[in-house]
Amino acid sequence: FAGGPAIIHAGGREALAWIIEAGYIHVLFCGNALAAHDMEASLYGTSLGYNLGIGRSVPHGHEHHLRTINRVRALGSIQQAVKSGIITEGIMAACVRQGVQMVLAGTIRDDGPLPDVITDSVIAQETMRAAIPGVELALLVASTLHAVATGNLLPASAPTVCVDINPAVPTKLSDRGSFQAVGLVMDSSSFLWELARELGWKG
Q: How confident is the model at residue 203 (pLDDT cuts 50, 70, 90)?
A: confident
Mean pLDDT of 184-196: 98
Amino acid at position 36, single letter: A
User: What is the tens place of the pLDDT at every residue in 55-90?
Assistant: 899 999 999 999 999 999 999 999 999 999 999 999
Cβ atoms 193, 169 nearer than 8 A: no
User: What is the tens place of the pLDDT at every residue in 98-126?
Assistant: 999 999 999 999 999 999 999 999 999 99
Distance (Å, whole) CA 25 – CA 101 = 9
Pick the range with the lowest mean pLDDT from 25-29, 39-43, 49-53, 85-89: 49-53
Distance (Å, whole) CA 19 – CA 192 = 9
Is residue 23 pLDDT above 90, yes or no? yes
Domain 2-198: what homologous superfamily?
putative lor/sdh protein like domains (3.40.50.10690)
> Taken in order 22, 156, 131, 151, is the CA torsion positive or negative?
negative
Per-residue three-class SS string for 45-74: CEECCEECCCCEECCCHHHHHHHHHHHHHH
How would you class 7 by CB atoms within 10 Å of its CB: exposed for 0-12, middle for 13-18, buried for 19 or more?
Answer: buried
Cβ atoms 15, 202 nearer than 8 A: no
> What pLDDT score was predicted for residue 1?
99
